[in-house]
Amino acid sequence: MKQADLPAKYDASQVEDKWYAYWLENKFFHSEPNDKEPYTIVIPPPNVTGILHMGHVLNNTLNDVLIRKARMDGKNACWVPGTDHASIATESKVVAKLKAQGINKEDIGREEFLKHAWEWKEEHGGIILQQLRKLGCSCDWDRTRFTMEPALSEAVINTFVYFYKKGWIYKGVRMVNWDPEALTAVSDDEVIHKDTQSHFYHLKYYISDGQGHPTDKYLVIATTRPETIMADAAICVNPKDERHFWLKGKKVLIPLINREIPVIEDDYVEMDFGTGCLKVTPAHDVHDYEIGLRHNLPVLEIIDDHGKLNEKAQILVGEDRFVARKKIVKMLEESGNLLKVEDYTSPVGYSERTDAVIEPKLSAQWFLKMEKLAATALETVESGRTNFIPEKYVNTYRHWMENARDWCISRQLWWGQRIPAYYLPDGSYVVEATPEAALKAAQAINPAIKAEDLKQDEDVLDTWFSSWLWPISVSDPEKPGHPEHQPNKDLAYYYPTNDLVTGPDIIFFWVARMIMAGEEFMGKEPFSNVYFTGIVRDKLGRKMSKTLGNSPDPLKLIAEYGADAVRIGMLLCSSAGNDIFYDESQVQQGRNFCAKIWNSFRLIQGWTVDDSAPQAEASALAVKWFRDQLSRTIETVEDHYSKFRISDALMTIYKLFWDEFCSWYLELVKPAWGAPIDRATYDATLSFFDALLKLVHPVMPFITEELWQHLAERKEGETIMYAATPKAQAYDAAFLERFDLAREAIVAIRGVRAQKNIPPKEALDLKVKASFPQEMLPVVAKLAGLSGTEVVADFGDTAMGVALLVRTAELFVPLTGLVNADEEIAKLEAELAHKKGFLEGVRRKLSNEQFVAHAPEAVVAVERKKEADALSAIESIENQLKALRK
RNA sequence: AGGGGCGUAGCUCAGCUGGUUUAGAGCGCUUCAGUCACAUUGAAGAGGUCAUCGGUUCGAAUCCGAUCGUCCCUACCA
């Protein structure tokens, strides 16, 4: 027997690396433009220093399923991989590493620091791409890109210059979210608001006598940030607030430092919040800044970049803002300005990266105007040129696009593309792609300028300012920033890409901005479909995180269960847009599926074929049935794929393989132990197995490739990867119906066995009435363990066996001495009651004239059929009861 | 505070434009099965008033409204 060829157990670790190497050697993942239809995916580039976590596994498994499916569908599939330089994340890692060596970033300077950063990148960068190979990802590695490689950095710089010259990039003083730990501004989107326990301090501000001395009158403000009072520029009340009319035109004194500030009026102040008096601190609060603009208030910054009070604060200079808060409260208490302290919970912004409390800070930053870009990008999605799956994210997207604020694109970091603005000694600046061009431009202003006089802007650009070009720049980095540039061959062929798989958390950061860049530079959406995955959570619904330690190491899982099993484990629970509740038992289920596939092939492989053996009736029926069942299922699978219901597609394939093929088909055609199988059945079985492997391949690439080689002699360079997806053929639906009826009959007879404790080996007899499709009797006989079947007009003494009703077909299993009439009567009565209830419901419907008048004919016909079937069922049950009660 | 999603078997979810659904799947659970591909198995079975209330309709898990629960997003009232 050939069975010896195949190990008894499937060992993924013995198989996966071998095939991945084979695929690489043969360049199966590589794509070049040709005359076939392209199918393109760009990877959501993971952080260059990142390591594989479960979120990546989910995302990249989905990507790989789509790309492998497209490849087998005959498209020219190209999956472009790469990594993102991730300026903040990478820089903070390098800073931490240097810190551990006692090195301070500022001490070594920009150039030296960048050397360390590149070293770090060389060492750790791309680990994650190696890990993706373990997962089986069929990326075109020859096309691997990095967002900070020279060509892509140039694209970023060109883009900046392009928008600057278009007048959409401007430098502005803005209130930004300052992270005092990372020493950088972070975007609104990188701020997480958390409810935080704090206090509400009620402070007395005395009215000034006009000479800078306090009178005995005072007003009360309520604040959570008493350490900022030294930066107050005014006290503001609502002009409609009668309680504060007396304050009009007055000046008050800031406690402790006795600086005089005016009382002003502005609608912004809520009358019923706090005391109705608001201290206005333009330098340290976003809203106050805006009030300040309206009322021309001076801006006094008293907190420095590190979150410490500076000399302008006059008191508590050099103290950290939180220490200063504690100390100033004490001082205010001592000076008699503290009226009361309330407990108060308020939302406070924290930095996503460092978890430091965000300090609103005035800062010179670069901005990109969003108005037009956002309007276009909104239209792209609303017009359906780009679809979101699931659709619900269109709402979120619309909300963002309609309220998009200008994009702060500068970051106070070193790791990233440096802003190409060059300052002249007089403070003016020019924006050019290269220092040479900048010098030229500067000399146009002032001919005396030399290269060394120009100082380039210290800031780098936001990482997203490079990743938004990704779908374009991976193919043709020359294109961004150059509308006149003719797309190169790759860009012309691969753009727009087809599908993007990503998380909804970066819908605005990345997805929206890619659409903006795509529309701006290509005049076309960058992808047709965006499939949003959920967040991977543990069984308890917690987000996976390092600190909780609830995130398994995907590589360990792959080592233990195999990549195919891990892929299945992720896909089993991954309906689009819903969070994923991951549990290792799902991976075990995937591993079990591998074992099932493996063992089913061992069975087939063990058969000996006898060319002269006739095909058994049951086998002939099984072959016809499975061929039809396969076609019907392929239709369903294709439908699921077309709607991005990947886990449904997987489940459909899973059931086709396990239930239909293994439990029904193979059991039907399986020859007696040691007996040979006929040629027709054997060949059909192999062709079914071949089709099944192809269906399974996109989700389980390794085991399918391994088994596919055993199906036929394989020549070097052949692969299941490029085998065509099986197509659905026309099938006989009525035949499938009759076969299903047979299956129900088999289940019913097995039920009788279980109930009566009849061992499987003990053969039974079966009588059926003519309403049962007789062609199916060989099938029923084989799988229900029957020694004989007989078509009769009358079952005779029904007390001598068990009568069964399968849909409307009547069956009878003669059983001598095993039947308890009372039990049978009770069972039948229960069934009768159920049928009668059902009939009643149907009749209520049918006797309703409105129903008959309004419902479509087909629906009414269905109800009539239900009625007829129920009546015939009731009749036969009643007959059986009558016979039993004799 | 505003916006959105979700609430169907123990768990995770299908159920697409209301009508062959007095509701389905996978896992889990219960019972039985041991040398014949597979115990990483097979067979049989139990399990849900579709969150609650009201409305529209001949007909509602499905549409509408309210309530409760839950999650997410946006904003932040000092």
Q: What is the pLDDT of residues A174-206, one digit of tens each?
A: 777 888 887 877 766 667 777 677 888 999 999
Which residue's alpha carbon is at the shortest distance from the C1' of B37? A603
Q: Give the ipTM.
A: 0.93
Nucleotide showing the shortest C1' distance to residue A273 CA: B77
Phi, psi of A289, rounded to the nearest 5 degrees: -60, -40
Taking the CA of residue A844 and the C1' sugar atom of nucleotide B55, their distance in angstroms comes to 23
Sign of CA dihedral A416, A420, A423, A427: negative
Which residue's alpha carbon is at the shortest distance from the C1' of B32? A754
Nucleotide showing the shortest C1' distance to residue A663 CA: B42
Nucleotide showing the shortest C1' distance to residue A591 CA: B40
Q: Are A469 and A496 in contact (CB under 8 A)?
A: no
Q: Which two tokens stand for residue A328?
A: 């100033």
Which residue's alpha carbon is at the shortest distance from the C1' of B18? A855
All residues at 6 or more sequence positions from A713 whose CB lies less than 8 Å from its CB, including other chains? none
Query: Out of A59-73, A160-174, A423-437, A800-814, which region has the weakest mean confidence (pLDDT)?
Result: A800-814
Q: Which two tokens stand for residue A83?
A: 């990594």
Residue A592 has pLDDT above 80, yes or no: yes
Q: Among residues A44, A871, A34, which one has the least CA distance to residue A501?
A: A44
Adjacency order of strands within the sheet including A421-423: A429-431, A421-423, A455-456
Nucleotide showing the shortest C1' distance to residue A390 CA: B5
What does the pLDDT read at residue A3? 39
Taking the CA of residue A703 and the C1' sugar atom of nucleotide B33, their distance in angstroms comes to 30
Taking the CA of residue A754 and the C1' sugar atom of nucleotide B47, their distance in angstroms comes to 19
Q: How far is CA A382 from CA A391, A741, A828, in A?
A: 11, 48, 59
One-character DSSP codes across A435-498: HHHHHHHHHHH-TT--GGG-EE-S-EE-THHHHTTHHHHTT-TTSTT-TTSPP-HHHHHHPSEE
What distance in Å separates the CA atoms of residue A321 and residue A223, rounded to the nearest whole number?
15
Adjacency order of strands within the sheet including A387-389: A387-389, A527-532, A497-502
Nucleotide showing the shortest C1' distance to residue A198 CA: B78
Taking the CA of residue A245 and the C1' sugar atom of nucleotide B30, their distance in angstroms comes to 78
Tens-digit pLDDT profile for residues A689-712 = 999 999 999 999 999 999 998 887
Which residue's alpha carbon is at the shortest distance from the C1' of B22? A838
Mean pLDDT of chain A: 89
Report the 10 Å Cβ neighbour count for A632.
18
The residues with which A455 forms a beta bridge, in sequence order, are A423
- Cα dihedral: A828, A830, A836, A842 (round 10): -120
User: Strand B: which bases are under 7 Å from protein Cβ?
Assistant: 3-6, 11-14, 19-20, 22, 25-28, 31-33, 36-38, 40-45, 57-59, 71, 73-78
Which residue's alpha carbon is at the shortest distance from the C1' of B28? A585
| pLDDT band of A350, cuts 50, 70, 90 | confident
Query: Out of A106-115, A465-474, A777-786, A809-818, which region has the weakest mean confidence (pLDDT)?
Result: A809-818
Taking the CA of residue A648 and the C1' sugar atom of nucleotide B24, their distance in angstroms comes to 13
Q: Among residues A531, A504, A516, A501, which one has the least CA distance to residue A464?
A: A516
Residue A686 has pLDDT above 70, yes or no: yes
Taking the CA of residue A791 and the C1' sugar atom of nucleotide B8, their distance in angstroms comes to 43
Q: Among residues A99, A143, A146, A94, which one has the least CA distance to residue A115?
A: A94
Length of chain A measured in residues: 886
Taking the CA of residue A202 and the C1' sugar atom of nucleotide B8, their distance in angstroms comes to 52
What distance in Å separates the CA atoms of residue A491 and residue A38, rounded to the nearest whole number?
11
Phi, psi of A481, rounded to the nearest 5 degrees: 85, -5
What is the pTM (predicted TM-score) of this model? 0.88
What does the pLDDT read at residue A79? 98
What distance in Å separates the CA atoms of residue A36 and residue A230, rounded to the nearest whole number?
70
Q: Which residue has the higher pLDDT, A538 or A386?
A: A386
What distance in Å separates the CA atoms of residue A826 and residue A822, rounded to the nearest whole number?
6
Residue A739 has pLDDT above 60, yes or no: yes
* First CA to last CA distance, chain A: 58
Which residue's alpha carbon is at the shortest distance from the C1' of B25? A651
Residue A510 has pLDDT above 50, yes or no: yes
What does the pLDDT read at residue A184? 76
What does the pLDDT read at residue A1? 33
Taking the CA of residue A656 and the C1' sugar atom of nucleotide B25, their distance in angstroms comes to 13
Which residue's alpha carbon is at the shortest distance from the C1' of B27? A586
All residues at 6 or more sequence positions from A315 whose CB lies less than 8 Å from its CB, including other chains? A230, A256, A257, A309, A328, A331
The residues with which A530 forms a beta bridge, in sequence order, are A388, A500
Residue A2 has pLDDT above 70, yes or no: no
For chain A, how big is the Rg over CA atoms in Å? 37
Nucleotide showing the shortest C1' distance to residue A534 CA: B72
Which residue's alpha carbon is at the shortest distance from the C1' of B41? A596
What distance in Å separates the CA atoms of residue A686 and residue A626, rounded to the nearest whole number?
12
What distance in Å separates the CA atoms of residue A429 and residue A455, rounded to the nearest whole number?
9
Taking the CA of residue A295 and the C1' sugar atom of nucleotide B15, their distance in angstroms comes to 60
Report the 10 Å Cβ neighbour count for A753.
17
Q: Are A178 and A357 in contact (CB under 8 A)?
A: no
Q: Are A863 and A845 in contact (CB under 8 A)?
A: yes
Residue A728 has pLDDT above 60, yes or no: yes
Residue linked to tokens 């499937």: A10
Q: Among residues A496, A449, A452, which one has the least CA distance to residue A472?
A: A496
Phi-psi region of A785 (alpha: psi -120 to 50; beta: other; left: phi over 0): left
Nucleotide showing the shortest C1' distance to residue A852 CA: B58
Nucleotide showing the shortest C1' distance to residue A849 CA: B58
Taking the CA of residue A850 and the C1' sugar atom of nucleotide B55, their distance in angstroms comes to 20
Taking the CA of residue A667 and the C1' sugar atom of nucleotide B32, their distance in angstroms comes to 20
- What single letter denotes the amino acid at residue A817? G
Taking the CA of residue A2 and the C1' sugar atom of nucleotide B39, their distance in angstroms comes to 24
What does the pLDDT read at residue A578? 72
Which residue's alpha carbon is at the shortest distance from the C1' of B31? A754
Residue A750 has pLDDT above 80, yes or no: yes
Residue A577 has pLDDT above 70, yes or no: no
What distance in Å separates the CA atoms of residue A738 and residue A10, rounded to the nearest whole number?
37
All residues at 6 or more sequence positions from A93 whose CB lies less than 8 Å from its CB, including other chains? A49, A120
Which residue's alpha carbon is at the shortest distance from the C1' of B75? A193
Average pLDDT over residues A118-128: 90
What distance in Å separates the CA atoms of residue A507 and residue A513, rounded to the nearest whole number?
9
All residues at 6 or more sequence positions from A599 whose CB lies less than 8 Å from its CB, including other chains? none
Nucleotide showing the shortest C1' distance to residue A393 CA: B4
What distance in Å separates the CA atoms of residue A407 and residue A795, rounded to the nearest whole number?
83
Taking the CA of residue A839 and the C1' sugar atom of nucleotide B58, their distance in angstroms comes to 18
Phi, psi of A566, rounded to the nearest 5 degrees: -65, -40
What does the pLDDT read at residue A189? 63
Taking the CA of residue A144 and the C1' sugar atom of nucleotide B8, their distance in angstroms comes to 45
Taking the CA of residue A48 and the C1' sugar atom of nucleotide B3, their distance in angstroms comes to 35
Q: Among residues A267, A262, A236, which one has the least CA distance to residue A249?
A: A262
Cis peptide before A496 (omega within 30 of 0): yes
Query: Out of A179-183, A217-221, A678-682, A710-714, which region has the weakest mean confidence (pLDDT)?
Result: A710-714
Q: Which residue has the higher pLDDT, A509 or A432?
A: A432
Taking the CA of residue A589 and the C1' sugar atom of nucleotide B39, their distance in angstroms comes to 14
Nucleotide showing the shortest C1' distance to residue A277 CA: B78
Taking the CA of residue A397 and the C1' sugar atom of nucleotide B4, their distance in angstroms comes to 11
- Cα dihedral: A62, A63, A67, A68 (round 10): -40
Nucleotide showing the shortest C1' distance to residue A347 CA: B76
Residue A678 has pLDDT above 70, yes or no: yes
Burial of A715 (0-12, 13-18, 19+ CB in 10 A): exposed
Taking the CA of residue A557 and the C1' sugar atom of nucleotide B3, their distance in angstroms comes to 40
Which residue's alpha carbon is at the shortest distance from the C1' of B38? A599
Nucleotide showing the shortest C1' distance to residue A392 CA: B5
DSSP class of residue A726?
P
Cis peptide before A390 (omega within 30 of 0): yes
Phi, psi of A329, rounded to the nearest 5 degrees: -60, -40
Instruction: Provide the percentage of residues in chain A whose pLDDT is more than 90.
Output: 58
Q: How many CA atoms lie within 13 A of A69 on its CB side?
A: 21
Nucleotide showing the shortest C1' distance to residue A666 CA: B37
Nucleotide showing the shortest C1' distance to residue A593 CA: B40
Average pLDDT over residues A3-27: 88
Nucleotide showing the shortest C1' distance to residue A403 CA: B74
Residue A32 has pLDDT above 90, yes or no: yes
Instruction: Provide the percentage of residues in chain A whose pLDDT is more than 70.
Output: 97
Which residue's alpha carbon is at the shortest distance from the C1' of B73? A396
Nucleotide showing the shortest C1' distance to residue A201 CA: B78
Residue A517: enclosing H or E segment and its boundaries?
helix A513-522
What does the pLDDT read at residue A136? 97
Tens-digit pLDDT profile for residues A512-564 = 999 999 999 999 999 999 998 887 777 666 667 666 666 788 999 999 999 99
Taking the CA of residue A343 and the C1' sugar atom of nucleotide B74, their distance in angstroms comes to 26
Which residue's alpha carbon is at the shortest distance from the C1' of B14? A648
Q: At A422, is the secondary structure helix, strand, or coil?
A: strand
Taking the CA of residue A746 and the C1' sugar atom of nucleotide B10, their distance in angstroms comes to 30
Average pLDDT over residues A114-133: 92
Q: How far is CA A881 from CA A822, A825, A886, in A?
A: 10, 6, 9
